[in-house]
Amino acid sequence: MTSSYDIRVKNELVERESEFLDRLFSEVQKVVVGQREMVERVFMGLICGGHVLLEGAPGLAKTLTVNTLAQCMQLEFKRVQFTPDLLPSDVLGTVIYNHQQGEFTNKQGPIFTNLLLADEINRAPAKVQSALLEAMAERSVTIGDTTYPLPQPFLVLATQNPIEQEGTYNLPEAQLDRFMFKIRVTYPTAEEELSIIDRVAVPGDAQMPTVERIISQEEISKVKRVLEQIIVERPVREYIVSVVGATREPAGAQLPGLAPFIDFGASPRASIALFQAARAHAFLRRRGYVSPEDVKAVAPDVLRHRVILSYEAEAEGKTVEEIVRVILEHVHVP
């Protein structure tokens, strides 16, 4: 059991190293109205090294948020519009023949960046998805006979239109599992939407506000080292395993009523993601230790794309969010 002195030391460390957070989020809000949870989750994915999938209707500032964060954090940002005719070489790069030199050379694709925005990722064919999966998993790309490491940090931030929209396809489960978060981006409140209108109602050519650099790549690396020092007590670790385990064996978690609704539960990668995300959430709340409330706060975003529901669940209108909520309500909290 960690002593109160150790907790106090970690709290002071996190408090000191998280001073930039208010300035960072204030800078983003110069451009992005509302969407605080989306901004936080994207930032958490970045400091944890986890890819993020953003699902929502067009026009909800998904691209704008990613671009603005990249500017605030002095990171290189590239965008690829995923379409049905996209080829793997359009993303990864290709081998080209140089007529002047009479030799083949490798041309790197847009994936060689810090933040890759894969816009409308669920419109691309399977070959592109497979190529992207390798890069997400290995953090490297092979072009011709040469393997290149991707820049650090490297993060895929993918946007996805809701599945019911025309021309979209389900992503493979193996690829979904590579995303740390799946974030549902919702519509702004009436007050936020009024603020958006006020911004564009300025007479003349309204220019997009410029944002300042708040944190450098070196400072991001420092934040990652601070995350590793955040205390996660054994009971909280066991709680994480119990929550994820309940998606696989509901009966073992005293939730037999959920078993008919779940075809496949979350993998061990979900436990790792939940552990890392809970530490990042504690960091954003200026604490040097993880509480069960941190786990509960991030569990829906970590699990919603990893739990596969049965046909019976779909027939009865059950959603993953409902299943996760029931699990969080009934699994014993330490």
Pick the CATH number of 19-215 from 3.40.140.10, 3.40.630.10, 3.40.50.300, 3.30.300.30: 3.40.50.300
Instruction: Give the pLDDT confidence of 10-20 residue by residue, as tens digits.
Output: 888 888 888 88
- Which residue has better confidence, 163 or 183? 183
Q: State pTM to two decimals.
A: 0.86
Residue type, 298: V
CATH number of the structural domain 230-330: 1.10.8.80
Instruction: Give the pLDDT confidence of 218-230 residue by residue, as tens digits.
Output: 888 888 888 999 9
Across the strands, what pairs with 148?
Answer: 141
pLDDT tier, 242 (very low <50, low <70, confident <90, very high otherwise): very high
Rounded CA-CA distance 113/139 in Å is: 11
b/e 280-314 (16+ beta carbons within 10 angstroms → b): bbbbbeebbbbbbebbbbbbbbbbbbbbebeeebe
Q: Which residue has the tokens 């009523």?
A: 257
Instruction: Give the pLDDT confidence of 56-104 residue by residue, as tens digits.
Output: 877 787 888 888 888 888 888 888 888 888 888 888 888 787 777 777 7
pLDDT tier, 202 (very low <50, low <70, confident <90, very high otherwise): low
- pLDDT > 60? residue 164: no
- pLDDT > 60? residue 205: no
Instruction: Give the pLDDT confidence of 46-57 residue by residue, as tens digits.
Output: 888 889 998 887
Please count the CA atoms within 13 angstroms of the CA of 321 that sit on its side-chain side: 6
What is the reported pLDDT for 163? Answer: 58
**DSSP structure class, residue 211:** -
- pLDDT > 80? residue 4: no
Rounded CA-CA distance 323/329 in Å is: 10
Q: Give the start-to-end residue ranges of the domains of the chain.
A: 19-215, 230-330
Nearby residues of 104 by Cβ (< 8 Å), 6 or more positions away = 95, 96, 97, 98, 144
Nearby residues of 161 by Cβ (< 8 Å), 6 or more positions away = 55, 56, 57, 58, 120, 122, 123, 168
What is the reported pLDDT for 271? Answer: 94
The residue among 68, 58, 7, 310 whose CA lies nearest residue 165 is 58
What is the reported pLDDT for 1? Answer: 63
123 in Cβ contact with 82 (< 8 Å): yes
What is the reported pLDDT for 203? Answer: 59
**β-pairing, 103-108 with 93-98?**
antiparallel
What is the reported pLDDT for 302? Answer: 93
158 in Cβ contact with 53 (< 8 Å): yes
Nearby residues of 20 by Cβ (< 8 Å), 6 or more positions away = 214, 215, 219
